[in-house]
Amino acid sequence: MADTKTFQPDLGFVKGVMEAGGDTVNRCYQCATCSVVCPLSTEESPFPRKEMLWAQWGMADRIAGDADVWLCHQCGDCSTYCPRDAKPGDVLGAIRANAIKYYAQPKALADLFSNKAGVLAVVGASYIAWLIVIFLWSLYTGERFLFPEGDVKYYKLLTFIPIDALALPAAGIAAWAGYMGITAFWRDLCKGSGYVSYSGTPVKPAIGPFIFKYIIPAFQEILAHSRFEKCGQTRERVQGHKLMLYSFIILFIVTCIVFVVNDMIYVPFLGHHFTPMPLWNPIKIAANIGAVMLVAGSWMVWQMRKRKTEEGVFKSSEQDWLLIYLIFAVGVTGVAAEVIRLFNIALLAYPIYVLHLATVVTLFLSIPYSKFAHLLYRTTAYVFQLYEKDLKEGKAGWGMEKEVLPPNPEEAEKAAH
Amino acid sequence: MSESILVIGGGFSGLTAAVEAAEMGYEVFIVEKEAYLGGRVAQLNKYFPKLCPPTCGLEINFKRIQTNPKITYYTLADVESISGNPGNFSVSIRVNPRGTTPQCTNCKAGEAAATSEVPNEFNFGMDTRKAIYMPHPMAFPNQCVLDLANTSPDEIEAIKAAMPAGHIDQEQQAETITLNVGAIVVATGWKPYDAEKIDNLKIGQFDNVVTNMMVERMASPSGPTGGKVVRPSDKEEPKTVGFVQCAGSRDVNHLAFCSQICCMATLKQVTYLREQNPDIEAYIFYIDMRAPGARYEKFYEKIKQDDKVHFIKGKVADIIPGDAPGSVKLVAEDTLGGGRIEQEVELAVLATGMQPVGAESPIPGIEYDADGFVVPKEGIIPCGCSKRPADVVSSAQSATAAALKAVQTLVRRAG
């Protein structure tokens, strides 16, 4: 019995998947309808049939090392055609939700971000933190606390120094946790696909090919939403998701520009603020377009998810909703803060501005802990898939490797004689 | 109180129940909706696993019916309603006109005179029939049918003129009769699940995707292709044939249950093909092959020995156009490690399952479960495939049991 394999089913893992929305996993009888109807499933590594088996059997390590879990965009086609109503789409969603928790550090933050009360608590805590920062800053500037005198101008409340004093540590935590999560996931992916070095360390490409052959093409694919668009049942979701992604990019760029222009040039050298910009300023126009896109995109995704959940195409967990609500809240408070500022209603404007800052900090802090982490892991899975394909073909470097020819049967026979 | 038994359905189960009860001395009425007795079995080419033609069992039952004065049968008849209680049911039956008289056993002259042609239901529309026709060569009763409802008066007159005098009677009207019976055996059987409903298998989009019952008719010597399994598109013999198991069965979106017979039917049809041409290769895509019992297992093992028959564990969930004209590709995941495959075949056979007739044509007064199977009640006894999916042998056994139950109902009430 030399080829006997023993494995210990991780029953806790199965239970976790079932509790996270994959309660139908045990209905699966492995017909593989799902792997065929899935528009994203590949020839060499079809999914989600194998993931259903691994989840049923509690093979947690196989799931952890499987990029395919993240290549699913949960369109629901598999669940629609599943003859057993085992809802593979929901099971994969549950597996992803648990994977985010699994890779999150510290775990307590992941628990906090996985329920409504926790997210509200974080928003509340950051609101209070902002108030403290504003108070301390007002001692320095001499402005009245929370409601500075004169026209509504947010720089009277906070400038980039106090903002960064709070936002940078939050971003730092998120970046550190995200990095830890991604590297742990990468290690699992390497193990899962069998690409580990002799010492057991995960493989990774040289930095050049990493960026140019894998990361950039993966980003291009994500920007184009080309896979997401293949999803059958929920194709409409793509538009809202695209709007949100593009708006984040636009808002990120304008924030950077404002940071450089205002905080690096205007304030230190010219001694006055560049903000608030007039509405005709191209940067302001871009920012406003981005804001509207964010609100519209999150609203569209919200409505789409609501409809599809009601139709039974897929299940929606609390984490699914929380991310949408949070992004929507960021967009709405941002737009409201600007509009009320234009109307110069100080009593409303400043508290809403602080609320906007609180939701933004919460959103960014949540990246590695909430459903937002799909940004990290799905991107990693995209990159890994491209890399793994090249690894298999022996050309994961700069492309100058010696071409490995398939063995010639005639010559092999000659050699044998 | 009534001392007689009604058998609804004149297929293999109904015939068996009827002769068993009649041979125990009870009066039996058979109501059959088609123009002939024999039901689905009459459409088969061969039984599994013995591979003998259906004439075997049917002929014996027809003989027993003919020689037993206790049996009355109605063809082209539908049960309209059932009322009353065990021991005393009142059943209303509509008997539709046949348009011919019993001496009309050959209608070649009438067929020649008929001008219209309609798809032949008996052969699943693979050929046509005329307005006057014999349902199939071994039809019992051996009497032609004139399609009164769908034929113009002029055409009927022309057919009548061509036929011997006294053979055609177009004046016949549908009549409703009422039977008083003590027990009812329900043997309404099954119909092949409508493959058009399985939208991902696209049967309507490809000429060369057929159902297993169509293969049965093609393989039958009296069938539309004279006993040869061919591709509908060009009538050529296929070199590769793919079988799609569980086409609709074991699927909550279609038939939630296993249809019991499709695995064996496919294995049987593989023997037709391999006999027809030793070069034909067969690809069987399955979830689980089900060959219950020692005899069926042996049959399965025998087919497995054939290296031209390939078994792929994975359900076909998509069918796409093939590279060669007329061919299709069956898309499945080979779950034993072969990845996602597209197998090109010249003919694809959907092993469609059994839908109980009650699912779409329930009879008022009979209770059905969610799938359309009859719920047994005192005095209303289902058998065969109206009760659960079954092969012919099990159907016959359940029919014998149902006959006994029906007799018990009468005896208990009388006692």
Count the Cβ atoms, other than its own, within 10 Å of residue B157: 13
Complex-level ipTM: 0.90
Tell me if domain B4-96+174-191+355-414 and domain B194-352 are identical in fold.
yes
pLDDT (tens, 9 = 90+) of chain B, 415 residues, equals: 789 999 999 999 999 999 999 999 999 999 999 999 999 999 999 999 999 998 888 999 999 999 999 999 999 999 999 999 999 999 999 999 999 999 999 999 999 999 999 999 999 999 999 999 999 998 999 999 999 999 999 999 999 999 999 999 999 999 999 999 999 999 999 999 999 999 999 999 999 999 999 999 999 999 999 999 999 999 999 999 999 999 999 999 999 999 999 999 999 999 999 999 999 999 999 999 999 999 999 999 999 999 999 999 999 999 999 999 999 999 999 999 889 999 999 999 999 999 999 999 999 999 999 999 999 999 999 999 999 999 999 999 999 999 999 999 999 877 6
pLDDT band for A400, please (50, 70, 90 cuts). Answer: low
The C-alpha of A99 sits at a distance from chain B's nearest C-alpha, in angstroms, of 25
* Residues of chain B found within 8 Å of residue A82, distances taken between Cβ atoms: 252
Task: DSSP letter for A212, please.
Answer: I
Cβ contact B332–A36 (<8 Å)? yes
Contact residues, A window 28-87, toward B, CB-based 8 Å cutoff:
29-37, 41-46, 49, 81-85
Band (pLDDT 50/70/90 cuts) for residue A414 is low
Contacts of A156 (CB under 8 A, 6+ apart): A141, A143, A148, A150
Spell out the domain ranges in chain A: 11-103, 107-392
What would the pLDDT profile of A226-274 be if each residue is shown by its tens digit? 888 888 766 778 899 999 999 999 999 999 999 899 888 998 898 888 8
Residue B317's nearest CA partner among B338, B333, B328 is: B333
Buried b (16+ CB within 10 A) or exposed e, A187-218: bbbbbbbebeeeeeeebbbeeebeeebbbeeb
Domain B194-352 in CATH 3.50.50.60? The answer is yes
- DSSP code at position A18: I
pLDDT top residue among A396 and B10: B10
Minimum Cα–Cα distance from A79: chain B residue: B253
Domain boundaries, chain B: 4-96+174-191+355-414, 108-162, 194-352
- Residue B279, exposed/middle/buried by CB under 10 A (0-12, 13-18, 19+)? exposed
Instruction: Determine, for residues A31 and B315 on separate chains, whether the beta-carbon distance falls below 8 Å.
Output: yes
- Quick check: A114 and A318 in contact, CB under 8 A? yes
> In terms of CA atoms, which chain A residue is nearest residue B317?
A33
Q: Is A46 within 8 Å of B333 when comparing Cβ atoms?
A: yes
Encoded amino acid at A152, one letter: V
- Please give the average per-residue pLDDT across A52-61, as a whole number: 93
Q: Supply the pLDDT for residue B7.
A: 98
Task: Check if A222 contacts B (Cβ < 8 Å).
Answer: no
Residue scoring higher pLDDT (A105 or B35): B35
pTM of the complete model? 0.90
> Could you tell me what percentage of chain A is helix, strand and coil, using 3-state DSSP and rounding each to the nearest 5?
70, 0, 30
- Mutation site for B-interface testing, chosen from A33, A44, A53 by largest number of B Cβ within 10 Å: A33
Residue in chain A lying closest to B331 (CA): A36
Of chain A, the percentage scoring pLDDT greater than 70 comes to: 94
The CATH architecture that domain B4-96+174-191+355-414 belongs to is 3-Layer(bba) Sandwich (3.50)
What's the confidence (pLDDT) of residue A272?
87
Instruction: Kindly tell me if the per-residue pLDDT of A413 is higher than 80.
Output: no
Q: Which pLDDT score, from 0 to 100, does residue A410 have?
A: 63
CB A67 within 8 A of CB A27: no
pLDDT at A416: 53
Give the model's pLDDT for residue A393. 82
Place of tokens 């023997």: B271
User: Closest by alpha carbon to B339, among A214, A208, A193, A50?
Assistant: A50
CATH architecture of the domain with residue range A11-103: Orthogonal Bundle (1.10)
What pLDDT was estimated at residue A401? Answer: 54
Tell me what pLDDT residue A236 has.
73
- CA A306 to each of CA A75, A79, B46: distance values in angstroms, whole numbers, following the listed order: 14, 17, 54
Are B333 and A29 in contact (CB < 8 Å)?
Answer: no
CA A361, CA A166: separation in Å to the nearest integer? Answer: 9
- The Cβ of residue A309 has, within 10 Å, a number of other Cβ atoms equal to 14
